[in-house]
Structure 1
Amino acid sequence: MAIILGRNRVTVQRWLRSYRNGGLSQLLSQYKSQGRPMLISRLCNSIVKRRIERPRRISWL
């Protein structure tokens, strides 16, 4: 899964642990990093969150 997402295995494990511990809300909660600024804006983050919570049905699948 880490390869598909283009992320480090440890990062994906951290995401999964966060989801198991607190569900989607904890997974999507803003994490204040000490390093590089976020690449995704708060607006994009809210759009992604909405799409995850209420996915669209894809007719061609």
Structure 2
Amino acid sequence: MQGNIFTYFAAMFAGYLLVQVSLADSFLSSIDSAVDIIGIITVIVFAAVLIFKGVKQLIHKS
């Protein structure tokens, strides 16, 4: 169970890094907006999964 949590956190962190990466001076500059969108969606999805799993864990503890 804990391994999954760290995997979700790593995926969320990777999405954050995709948002922060600068592709302006490279040959990939044409897909810069697509990389930003993928990063934002990744952060939102995996943050929601972590919140859901945390709330689920709190409910089952009580």
TM-score, normalised relative to structure 2: 0.30
Higher radius of gyration, 1 or 2: 2
Q: Which has the higher helix share?
A: 2
TM-score, normalised relative to structure 1: 0.31
